[in-house]
Structure 1
Amino acid sequence: MSTATYATPDDAEQAFYDAFVRSDLDALMSVWSEDEETICIHPGGSRFNGIGAIRESWKQLFEIGMKFQIRTSNLIKTHSALVAVHSLLQHVSVEGDDTIAPPLITTNVYTRGPRGWQLLVHHTSPAPDTNGLMMQESPRTVH
């Protein structure tokens, strides 16, 4: 595993998406926490638990050979001293494919440890409604 360190959750997130678009498995895995309680859920896919299973899931994705282009938007951050949660929209396309895919809703959970901020959970799901509630600000009152 890499000795990469990330001073902020934003640094870790940037490194994750940079590695993703380059299909660089080692760089992508350097962002992940080495905690065995790590979780990764790909859009419409299974839940992978533990760093070994997560590594294998990304390895299989990258072996397909597609070049991904990713843009993120609508980032909402919640941070404390040891945990950060980022909720965002992920706009993924494949190089050479002009199809405009709907955004994916993503939650990234980072923890702060000896190697700085590391990714603990990455959960991405298809968006049910790209023009509705998910784009609006959260309600101020819960009933």
Structure 2
Amino acid sequence: MTDPRAKVTQAVLLTTADETEASFYDAMQHADLDRMMQAWADDEDIACVHPGGPRVVGTAAVRAGFEAVFANGPVHIGIEHVRRMETAVCAVHHVTEKVQAMGPDGQMQTAFVMATNVYLRTSQGWRMVAHHASPGLAQDLPDITEPRGVLH
């Protein structure tokens, strides 16, 4: 007989890279490790770099990395300035993460993190294969972009 309190993890079909990204950040907001891992591809080549940390590779290492992050509770992140490059099977999103957390002084602190999220279309839907986040900045910085030429 199955324990009714046991949490059942069920595969979720994520039909777009945007949907996968929303699921990833929602899992961060709720410190939900199982939901976090549903956003990731089940592949030993997935990779994650947390701000200021080393590269972790493989499902077990990525899971352990987020388990350590969630040990401190939910991570309040909002994403801004999303830039997307997408094909039929791959998507790369550059985002600014607005991260808010309680500091050691008990005051809410905000940092802005530049992150790159890479998604692949798999047989289970769109899944994250890489997340690379830079150390936080004290303020949100504008993008530096090259002026676009005018076609005649």
**Common fold: TM-score over 0.5:** yes
Return the offset for 1:97. Answer: 3.4
C-alpha distance in structure 2 between counterparts of 1:24 and 1:131, whole Å: 27
Q: Which residue type is aligned with residue 119 of structure 2?
A: Y
How many angstroms apart in 2 are the aligned matches of 1:106 and 1:78?
A: 14
Query: Given the two structures, how large is their TM-score scaled by the length of structure 2?
Result: 0.82
Q: TM-score, normalised by structure 1?
A: 0.87
Distance 1:8 1:122 in 2: 17
Structure 1: unaligned runs, 5 residues or longer: none
Residue in structure 2 matched with residue 88 of structure 1 by the alignment: 95
Q: What number of residue pairs does the alignment pair up? A: 137
2:62 match: secondary structure: helix
Aligned to 2:39: 31
Structure number with the higher helix fraction is 1
Of 84, 105, 110 in structure 2, the residue corresponding to residue 100 of structure 1 is 110
Is 2:131 the counterpart of 1:122? yes
Q: Percent identity of the aligned residues?
A: 31
1:48 equivalent in structure 2: 56
Report the 3-state secondary structure (helix = DSSP H, G, I; strand = E; otherwise coil) of the residue aligned with 2:28: helix
Q: 1:11 aligns with which of 8, 19, 25?
A: 19
**What stretches of structure 2 of length at least 5 have no aligned partner?**
1-8
- With over 3 angstroms needed to count, the CA separation of the structure-2 counterparts of 1:37 and 1:122, relative to structure 1, is same
Q: What is the RMSD of the two structures over their aligned residues, measured on CA atoms?
A: 2.0
Alpha carbons of structure 1 residues 17 and 4: separation in structure 2 relative to 1, 3 Å? same
Task: Give CA deviations for 1:32-74 in whole Å, capped at 9, x if unaligned.
Answer: 001211000000001000011000111111123x332111101
The match for 2:119 among 110, 113, 116 is 110
1:38 and 1:49 in contact (8 A); partners too: yes
What is the aligned partner in structure 2 of residue 72 from structure 1?
A: 79
Amino acid at match of 1:25: L
Maintained 8 Å contact 2:115/2:134: yes
